[in-house]
Each structure stands twice: as structure tokens, then as C-alpha cells.
Amino acid sequence: MRFDPEASWVANAGLGVAREALEPVKEKHPEISYADLYTLAGVVAIEEAGGPTIPFRLGRVDMESGETSPPDGRLPDADKGSRIKTAQHVRDIFYRMGFNDREIVALLGAHALGRCHTDRSGYWGPWDFSENSFSTEYFRLLLEERWSPKMTHNGKPWTGPDQYEDSTGKLMMLPSDLVLIQDPKFKKYVEMYAKDEDLFFADFAKAFAKLLELGVPFPSKSWFRAK
């Protein structure tokens, strides 16, 4: 994702900020590949935010240009126009990578962290009130809050893409978030994780480690940190 065309994909908007933040680390430790550095940064961010310890190993190899970038459209979109189409799209994206419904819900629980920015994705707002803490709040709020279409923003009509807000107007959910409670097969895992943080952390750690290792031909001997 360092090179175009991948770096310029709409789904990767805003990642330039993270790349720039990690450049001093790369300069200090030139022996680590960018691929290992970027994935390790994600692992550390989750752990420092109070999340689970995630198994991690080094061995990813950098490309020298964007010539081998995969085609655009392989990352999940927030909305496909209807509940059914959006739910199917989420499954299509993650099933292609070998994930099941339980792993999909666990991975989307990472929305407990961070927020959306209008100058990047076009959406606005955090998913919960503790956007710097990794927790089960995302799942609890999905189930307990009443989510209504966002109509206004700062006293003016909302002109961004369709999204939903809670009763305070300060929190948001994407259409792809709401399908997790609209689809019964997804919802049962939302309910499980909302009640059991230990279970969510354990499942997330496994699924995230799996995601970070997809397609990587690790050498037979590589540094590995177990959970």
C-alpha cells in the first residue's frame, strides 16, 4: 500500500498519515520490511489500547513498485445499497480470504477503535465514546442503542453518504455495521461478544493474526512472538 495504484484507492484514504508517522521508525530500524512494520504497528496499537496480545512473526517481503498490486475492490465497502446486498458483500470479501461469520464479526469489532473522517471516507464520527480503547463497547452499542439515519450535522443538513447515529447524535454506525444485528447469523456472535470480553479478545486475536499472515510465504525460521 506504499505505491500507486493501491495507495490511492478510496478504501485506503487516510493511510498516508499512518505511513508518515512510521517513517522515523523505519529509518531507525532499516532491517525491518515495511510490510512487517505496518502490520506490527497495528498489533502494537491494539495491545496499547487495552486489547489482546496478538501472535506475530516477521518475514513479510516488500515489493519494489506498485506493478504487482491486486485489483481495486477487494476491500469491504460500507454500503451496497440494501441490507441484503451489504451483508452479502461483507461475506464475499471475507469468505474469499477464508474467514467465517464468527471471524468476520470478531474482526469488525475493531471498530471499537478510531473514527470516520469526512475528508477521507466521507463518513463522520466515532463508533463509541472510548475510541482509543479496545473493548466490547462496539457490540454493546449495536445492540442497545437505537440507530437512526443521520439527517443533520452541526445544525445543517447532512450531505454525506448514508450512515446512522445514536440518540445523542455523537456516535455513528455504517450500514455494514448494522447488518451485524440485522442478519441473524451475524447477530448471534454480536450478542456473544457483547456479554463476554474475554471471548471476544481471544477470537479477535486469532482472526487478526490470521488476517496479517494471509498469502505470506514465511521462511522456515523467522522471529515469532506467541500469544
pLDDT by residue (tens digit) across 45-99? 999 999 999 999 999 999 988 888 888 888 899 999 999 999 999 999 999 999 9
Maximum distance among all alpha carbons in the chain? 58
**Are 43 and 196 in contact, with CB atoms under 8 Å apart?**
no
Strand segments, DSSP code E, in the chain are: 56-57, 115-116, 125-126, 148-149, 152-153, 156-157, 164-165, 172-173, 224-225
CB 97 within 8 A of CB 211: yes
Express each pLDDT in 96-109 by its tens digit. Answer: 999 999 999 999 99
Asked whether the beta carbons of 114 and 126 are under 8 A apart, the reply is yes
CA–CA distance, 216 with 111 (Å, rounded to integer): 25
* 222 φ, ψ (degrees, to nearest 5): -145, 150
Are 191 and 143 contacting, i.e. CB atoms less than 8 angstroms apart?
Answer: yes
Residue identified by cell 506490527 is 40
Local structure of residue 113 (DSSP, 8 states): S
Amino acid 221: pLDDT: 65
